[in-house]
Amino acid sequence: MKEEKENIFTVFDDILQRKDKEELLNQKSKVIWMTGLSGSGKTTIAKGVERYLHSQGIVNQLLDGDNIRVGISNNLTFSSEDRSENIRRISEVSKLFMNCGIVTLNCFVSPTIAIRQIAKDIIGEENFIEVYINASIETCEDRDVKGLYQKARNGEIKDFT
């Protein structure tokens, strides 16, 4: 694990804290981490949760693997090292939203316990709610609009999980 660096930028001592922002929004911020196979329904479920929370006056942000991969992680592959880096980046962004008092809904395959532990360590176990979206491979393949499962079967995608 990386050595924790001391923050030498004292400006952060003077900014409003998470609890101040939660009080303003009248809500508690958390990170809800939805994991499961590609096509399992993570994003579909998260969109429903997003709308419900919004209807209840709860400020939230949805982060999805597809959107992140074309933005802050557009230079990463699906190798083990790059998957870990992708999750690290997402976790840091999620923590920023959380520290603003916002409930963050994350939809990422995050296939291994070790990768999800990276997120938990950054976000904090007490702030991390893991939800496994359970769907069979057959169901996921039937829903696969991107053709990822077929490409994986044809050997076109390396390290597909």
Q: Is 50 within 8 Å of 105 (Cβ atoms)?
A: yes
Q: Is 91 a catalytic residue?
A: no
55, 73, 110, 136: which is the annotated catalytic residue? Answer: 110
* Helical residues (DSSP H) of 26-108, grouped into ranges: 42-55, 65-70, 80-99
Residues near 53 by Cβ (< 8 Å), separated by ≥ 6?
60, 103
Q: Is 60 within 8 Å of 135 (Cβ atoms)?
A: no
Name the residues annotated as catalytic.
110
